[in-house]
Amino acid sequence: MLADGYEIRPLARADAGARAAAYVRNREHLEPWDPVRPESYYTERGQADDIARQLLEREKGKRHAFLLWYGAGDGASVVGQVSIDNVVRGVLQSATIGYWLDHEHLGRGLATEMVAHVVEHAQELGLHRLEAGTMVDNTASQAVLRRSAFSEYGVAERFLYIRGAWQDHVLFQRILHDDPPGNPVP
């Protein structure tokens, strides 16, 4: 259950300004874990473009993104994001998850709550399995995944291109159910 003042909502077109402000505020905090991004990414226009891309992926059933908000009314701000990505249907029924949290909101169990939110959403989508990868030295994110009943199953060498180099990642998975595969409409 989220702490008072926090709310998780689906990503929407109107979120570009708030999301840009969150990325500017957290640029240094997220830099060790993010790919190198163009300067335009940190602008409202850059976020509007990225949100449009993500919403198109949602329409295709491939991505489901949610923002964590803190505060009320016009004073609310984006303080995190969690998403289900790379949805594969058929006999696999699998997806990956990713998340980030504002540096001023760490240590409150919010990342674990965001992961719980997408686990529940993935179950509603009928997915069988979720995967997540963290850079080897991202022990805080690994702890979030372990608290969220994900199990470590290996290390992928040179898995993602982060900070200008191919980075090794610790891989985690969570099996959601053992029902036969289906392809419900998202």
**Per-position DSSP letters for the chain, written without gaps between them:** -PPTTEEEEE--GGGHHHHHHHHHHTHHHHTTTSPP--GGGGSHHHHHHHHHHHHHHHHTTS-EEEEEEESSGGG-EEEEEEEEEEEE-TTT-EEEEEEEE-GGGTTSSHHHHHHHHHHHHHHHTT-SEEEEEEETT-HHHHHHHHHTT-EEEEEEEEEEEETTEEEEEEEEEEE---SPP-----
Model pLDDT, residue 8: 97
pLDDT at 91 over 60: yes
pLDDT tens per residue across span 122-181: 999 999 999 999 999 999 999 999 999 999 999 999 999 998 899 999 999 999 999 888
The pLDDT of residue 147 is: 98
Domain 6-175 has CATH 3.30.43.10: no
Q: What is the mean pLDDT of the chain?
A: 95
The pLDDT value recorded for residue 180 is 86
For residues 56-82, give the mean pLDDT.
95
Mean pLDDT computed over 54-72? 97
Give percent of the chain above pLDDT 70. 97
* Residue 185 confidence (pLDDT) above 60: no
CA angle 1, 11, 82 (to 5 degrees): 50
What pLDDT sits at residue 184?
Answer: 55
- Nearest of 89, 91, 77, 99 to residue 7 by alpha carbon: 77
DSSP β-bridge partners for residue 174:
130
Beta bridge partners of residue 166, listed in sequence order:
161
In the structure, what pLDDT confidence band is assigned to residue 25 with cuts at 50, 70 and 90? very high
